[in-house]
Amino acid sequence: MIDIIPAIDIIGGKCVRLSKGDYGQQKIYAEKPLDVAKMFEDAGCKRLHLVDLDGAKSNHIVNHLVLEDIAGKTNLIIDFGGGIKSNEDIKIAFDSGASMITGGSIAVNNAEIFSEWIVKYGSDKIILGADTRNGKISTSGWLKDSKIKIIPFIKYYTEKGITQVISTDINVDGMLSGPSLELYQSILQEMPNIYIIASGGVSCMVDIENLQKAHVPAVIVGKAIYENRISLKEIERFNLNN
């Protein structure tokens, strides 16, 4: 069984989606993210991937009030990312109701503090964000590319205790062209016990089924829902049958 994790990306307090991480290609889907979160909860989803895109660009949390609103008015397990760069940021995230945080740029730029968070909060609370463009890790809301290769990057942090990894193939994100199956298969081949969360490219339920066949344990779905390529009824049926 694969877990479907719906995504809400926030800019200016509103629910948006980007194409290939391009802030110049954003589309607003809802003025009130809480209403969207409630719809996901009604469809049987237990978890939500909430991303503060303003925070990712600004290098500090911006939309924590949206997190607070959703956490206070739903029972969703929220993993929150975007702009978590300091001890103050992570405290704000957890105080605002995040169940888990995702650290990507911080894991690249300040391995010491990210490793400290794994020890302090536990591997069940800290998710590694391993977002990639052409096999290399990208940071700062995908605005910067590093020279770090994805598999050694993930291996380094599994040795530090990381058990959950969200990996987005930026080249397919928001394009509705299908997920990068080969990427996730290569990661699982090297680290079969990692809870890898696929992200980017999902366009229909068949894509999710193909990820499940590849033994990918979880998938984040965003634009396909907002563009009505996958209905909440389909997600509800999937959740009931699995």
Instruction: Report d(CA 69, CA 242) in Å as an integer.
Output: 29
Token duo for residue 12: 């200016």
pLDDT tens sequence across 76-118: 999 999 989 999 999 999 999 999 999 988 999 999 999 999 9
Instruction: Report d(CA 103, CA 55) in Å as an integer.
Output: 12
Q: Which of 125, 209, 195, 206 is nearest to 167 (CA)?
A: 195
pLDDT exceeds 70 at position 140: no
pLDDT at 202: 93
Ordered domains of the chain (ranges, CATH): 3-241 (3.20.20.70)
Q: Read off the pLDDT of each residue in 147-155 and give the average, rounded to a whole number.
A: 94
Rounded (5°) CA angle 187-101-44? 85
Chain mean position to CA 148: 20
Instruction: Report d(CA 205, CA 183) in Å as an integer.
Output: 19
Give the residue numbers marked as catalytic.
9, 131
pLDDT band at 124 (very low <50, low <70, confident <90, very high): very high
Q: Read off the pLDDT of each residue in 173-187 and give the average, rounded to a whole number.
A: 85
